[in-house]
Structure 1
Amino acid sequence: MNLLKHRRKLSMVLSVGLLALLFIPFQVSREIAAIGPDLAVVASTPEMQAGGVSTESHMTLVFNQALHNEPVLEFLTLEEVNGSRVSVTASVYANVMDIFPITALKSGTSYRLSVAPGSITSLAGETLPHAFGLEFVTEPNHAPMLLHSNPVQDQKNVAPNQTIELVFNQDVVAGGQYANIRLSRDDQSIPYAAHLSGAALYIDPATDLEPSVTYSVYLPPGSVMGVLGSKLEQGTGLTFTVCSCRQKQDKPAKISANTFHNVLLDSDGTLLAWGLNSFGQLGNGTTASSRTPVRVLDSVSHQPLNDISEVGAGYYYSLALKKDGTVWSWGNNDYGQLGDGTKTSRSAPVQVKTGPYSGLSHIVAISAGDYHAVALKSDGTVWAWGYNSQGQLGVGTTEDEYYAVQVHGPGNTGGLGQIAAVAAGAYHTAALKSDGTVWTWGYNEVGSLGNGTTENQASPVQVVGADGQGGLGGIAAISAGYHTVALSGDGTVWSWGYNKDGQLGDGTSRNQATPVRVRSETGSGELGDIAIISAGAFHTTVQKNDGTLWNWGSNQYGQLGDGTASNRNLPAQVTGIGAAEGGSEVVAFASGGYHTIGLVSGGRVQALGNNSYGQWGDGSLWD
């Protein structure tokens, strides 16, 4: 405000006679209070011309006066210097304004934050007299690094027609040496086709690979580079051995089951859900249960939620991972398991956030536990939210979290990193590192963590090897219920934790605090030739390389599909889904609380076990 104008107005007021002055004291005091320094920014984070600013940062401006209202966003801009504008949102508290980019900033990039004059008002009525600008540079772009692969290093049970996937710590594009990527056996090059998508490189052999032969993939330096030009600095790759099998090994990300409902990823990228819907977990905007599939709907457009890549069904809630790396949730939210910062249940999807104005992003995998959820970022870090009474969020506390928070490292220090896969159990969590080791945290009274103890852990601990020696290694996949299951690279299966119903498959019903091998159906030798695993609440389902399904554990409702209602502590072949039902091939499957469900070729869904809330999806209510 112009000081001369203030003085002119003040002199006019003071020139009024004493009698008049007695009737306008508030006007005088208000005018006097207005005299002072102009509204201005006195501090900022980051500071002017700061370098090395985190790409996940938000900006904070501190003013010399308390602010009156929210800023007008059209006059508040964040843009790349010589680049495009970044959408932001903002909030005000006292004399502090926080500005949040809606998407993460680019690394190694100069940014300018501009605040237009007149767009900010103080409680005293002052407006910002001059434009304010803040320039800073984000942390430099780091060279791409191989984060994990499928198959994993030295895996022994790779299908002849499997696509090879290599995932980096950032989005990558073809570099100058891209054409020199090599797939080989015995130093003989094998023809292939390759393509890049986001942070992943996919290699498809031109023909099926030969059984019992070891192959190598090699990426020379400079073969890929980050989107801002930083090249792969060191050659990298992996070796693997092909099995005598026919089936392509894809993880069962197309369908997910919990106790009372299921969620299915359709071929067009939309979702179908069915079963109990008391908290809106079917995501169609209602709380009416459905015995047949209904579409999950976008909460704004009321059109089918689309561009989905992965799904997860929790206990009364659901999760979906979009292809853009964002995570969406709906259903029960009593413990913050929707991750939107509230405890309000939702009947349509909301975005999982890391704070009031920042969505969780760059996610490549998700997993829904009973009342908590976990997500894997493309940089190999793990994020979790929801119920935390047993330390299952891995942040060193037992307090629930309503926003996604980063899982801490072992000993509650730093952050857990170099993770390739995550699995949320009922009240514990497991993570598979890129080196093939397994790390767990949360509830452990039945040995679910596999570290040789029965003490709960609020930060990650390493799963030990057989008989408690060393660390379990060579693992290619993990899954969790009230117990934990791990698929070894050689096609055998390890399990540990709760075993009252025989769900560990070791021929006993004793809980195990260290990993045990799943036995064969006769109990002699080990179950082998396994491609995919899925742990339900109290039973386990696996798929062999020949496409058959095998089950063991709780069978109260016939969920094992062996024609009985008796629990089994050794594997039995499923006869109610897939090949035994008309010769159809099982393309995806999941173990729920008390049922097993499969998606077979042709798009049909087949189910076994409990159906009291329409979990079968066929319109019936009988088991």
Structure 2
Amino acid sequence: MDYTSPEETALKVKRWPKATIAAGYRHTVGLTSDGTVTAVGDNKYGQCDVSGWRDMVAVAAGNAHTGNAHTIGLTSVGTVSAVGWNKYDQCDVSGWRDIVAIAAGWRRTVGIKSDGTVVAVGRNNEGQCNVSEWRDIVAVAAGDWHTIGLKSDGTVVAVGNNRYGQCNVSGWHDIVEVAAGYLHTVGLTSDGTVTAVGWNKRDQCDVSGWRGIVAISAGSNHTIGLRSDGTVAAVGWNEHGQCDVGGWRDIVAVAAGCAHTLGLTSDGTVVAVGDNKNSQCDVSGWRGIQLPGK
């Protein structure tokens, strides 16, 4: 078996793009510049119990339309921490090593290893954890019942439930980022345009007119796009105002939860709109959230 030293793993982890804000069903997670993590919102299953985490470089939040949730953190040495709902073993990641990127879906956790292979734990009734054969993966996204993988050549693979065509990505090319919602999948191309497949009852896939996009995120039934000028676009379900981002400026990262949306500004503060019944949007006091790529 090949041995990868902690130092080698740390270098590999550092090179991968990292999510420093995450939106779950009813909770919000932020990674600070000192490697600690903060969280607000629903804590019924302990998904906000992250105060003891240290040396983190990325965070992810399970975004379940049914309310059960968990939180994942990636350390600088490629190990993974998890708290929250664990009925389907989605938090059983303590043995993972050499991980460079993470994603959290409903009842599921996914990790990319430094060699481009993928591991997954959790509910697999629809085959959403059948990723062991994947190779050359550079990014993953976890929806409720499907999992998406972005390959180094810009093509995309998918496993899991495909009832609404959310896994119909085999024809995609030149993709640089992927996102997965409840029943839809979104891809960002290298030219700043966006494509989407899947359930579109809430118009969450109506992204064909977007231009100048540099990052994307998918909520349960809405889609968010960050423009190169720091403004934000949104389509889809807006019952709680989760798409009311037209006034945002100077945004450098976005995250979409079930019914709320987050934006990270260039000064390390966070803005939020949408459902706040569990205080998941109470982030106005956050400071020093790590900027992407830092």
2:275 and 2:189 map into 1 onto residues whose CA distance is: 30
Q: Residue in 1 aligned with 2:215?
A: 532
1:618 and 1:421 map into 2 onto residues whose CA distance is: 27
Q: Residue in 1 aligned with 2:12?
A: 199
CA deviation vs aligned residue, 1:34-77 (integer Å, no higher than 9, x gap): xxxxxxxxxxxxxxxxxxxx24xxxxxxxxxxxxxxxxxxxxxx
CA deviation vs aligned residue, 1:377-414 (integer Å, no higher than 9, x gap): 001100000111111101xxxxxxxxxxxx232xxxxx
Q: Cα distance, 1:602 vs. partner?
A: 3.1
Q: Residue in 2 aligned with 1:552?
A: 235
Q: Residue in 1 aligned with 2:289?
A: none
Q: Cα distance, 1:597 vs. partner?
A: 1.2
For the 8 Å contact 1:252–1:590, the answer to whether it is kept is no
For the 8 Å contact 1:308–1:322, the answer to whether it is kept is yes
1:445 and 1:420 map into 2 onto residues whose CA distance is: 26
TM-score (norm 2): 0.89
Confirm whether residue 495 of structure 1 aligns to residue 196 of structure 2.
Answer: yes
What aligned pairs does 1:144-543 form with structure 2 within 5 A after superposition? 171=8, 198-199=11-12, 253-283=19-49, 296-298=50-52, 305-314=53-62, 315=64, 316-339=69-92, 352-353=93-94, 359-394=95-130, 407-409=131-133, 416-450=134-168, 463-465=169-171, 472-482=172-182, 483-505=184-206, 518-520=207-209, 527-543=210-226
Read off the aligned partner of 2:44 and give its amino acid letter: S
2:56 and 2:82 map into 1 onto residues whose CA distance is: 12
Read off the aligned partner of 2:109 and give its amino acid letter: A
1:595 and 1:200 map into 2 onto residues whose CA distance is: 29
Percentage identity across aligned positions?
43
For the 8 Å contact 2:13–2:76, the answer to whether it is kept is no
Confirm whether residue 606 of structure 1 aligns to residue 289 of structure 2.
Answer: no
Q: Against the structure 1 CA distance between its residues 310 and 200, is the aligned structure 2 distance closer, same or farther, given a 3 Å change threshold?
A: closer
Higher RCO (CA < 8 A, seq sep 6+): 2
Q: Cα distance, 1:489 vs. partner?
A: 1.1
Confirm whether residue 575 of structure 1 aligns to residue 281 of structure 2.
Answer: no
1:529 and 1:500 map into 2 onto residues whose CA distance is: 25
Q: Against the structure 1 CA distance between its residues 612 and 377, is the aligned structure 2 distance closer, same or farther, given a 3 Å change threshold?
A: same
TM-score (norm 1): 0.43
For structure 2, which runs of at least 5 residues remain unmatched after alignment? 285-294
Residue 616 of structure 1, aligned match among 274, 281, 287? 281
2:271 and 2:17 map into 1 onto residues whose CA distance is: 18
For the 8 Å contact 1:252–1:532, the answer to whether it is kept is no
Read off the aligned partner of 1:492 and give its amino acid letter: T
Q: Give runs of ≥4 in structure 1 deviating > 6 Å.
A: none
1:200 and 1:618 map into 2 onto residues whose CA distance is: 27
1:325 and 1:544 map into 2 onto residues whose CA distance is: 31
For structure 1, which runs of at least 5 residues remain unmatched after alignment? 1-53, 56-104, 108-169, 173-196, 203-249, 284-295, 299-304, 340-351, 354-358, 395-406, 410-415, 451-462, 466-471, 506-517, 521-526, 562-573, 580-584
Q: Cα distance, 1:252 vs. partner?
A: 6.5
- Secondary structure (helix, strand or coil) at the match of 1:321 reads strand
1:200 and 1:385 map into 2 onto residues whose CA distance is: 20
